[in-house]
Amino acid sequence: KAGVTQTPRYLIKTRGQQVTLSCSPISGHRSVSWYQQTPGQGLQFLFEYFSETQRNKGNFPGRFSGRQFSNSRSEMNVSTLELGDSALYLCASSVTPPGGTNEKLFFGSGTQLSVL
Amino acid sequence: QKEVEQNSGPLSVPEGAIASLNCTYSDRGSQSFFWYRQYSGKSPELIMSIYSNGDKEDGRFTAQLNKASQYVSLLIRDSQPSDSATYLCAVLVYGQNFVFGPGTRLSVLP
């Protein structure tokens, strides 16, 4: 079974631009979560989608948004990029929403975003 | 605010020794606990999950949970250089999202 697939693997943007990241979950997984990872802050939760609905959102500004499609694939968008947005963006999938009993998260390889 | 704390390390142990990684959490409603391993430049990989008090063993790995003390640990027996990685503790409150600790960097010296 294929794992969580994220594209692109690397991305270089300049301040003020916007970016869209893509995530395809493991087949049969309907929940997708997004995390930002930086050396100083560790893994920070961005948001989680299940059945095309955003169920939880972390403490990030409105410049960060996402959506989920009917096939469970998800996209994350960051508008008006800032230098501080440089990070590894990880997508994780699970069968059901993370709040369920005995649920586990499986991560993709991530998108390394550099903002110049 | 829910918090998960870990010693950042690096924790250095000689090959063949037992590595002990610790994690504390603040939310008493936490009910599921996980250990992820992350190699440099790679994504986190789930290695252990534990849901009830006590020990859970899987090969060279043992997870220990003490909900009264809000403490979870990971023991790695017969540590190998290939175990050198950052170990992330994650905590889940049902109905909410996972909260990750900052990770402990483990270095196993040949």
Residue-by-residue pLDDT tens, chain A, 116 positions:
679 999 999 999 999 999 999 999 999 999 999 999 998 788 999 999 998 999 889 999 999 999 999 999 999 999 999 999 999 999 999 887 666 655 788 999 999 999 99
Q: Does A3 touch chain B (CB under 8 A)?
A: no
Smallest CA–CA distance, residue A50 to chain B, in Å, is: 12
Q: Which chain B residues are Cβ-neighbours of A99 within 8 angstroms?
A: 92-97
Three state DSSP letters for chain B? CCCEECCCCCEEEECCCCEEEEEEECCCCCCEEEEEEECCCCCCEEEEEECCCEEEEECCEEEEEECCCCEEEEEECCCCHHHCEEEEEEEECCCCCEEECCCEEEEEEC
**Stretches in chain B below the pLDDT threshold 50:** none
Are A33 and A92 in contact, with CB atoms under 8 Å apart? yes
Q: Using the beta-carbon criterion (under 8 Å), do B99 and A45 form an inter-chain contact?
A: yes
- What integer pLDDT is reported at residue B1 of this predicted model? 63
How do strand B85-92 and strand B98-100 relate by DSSP bridges? antiparallel
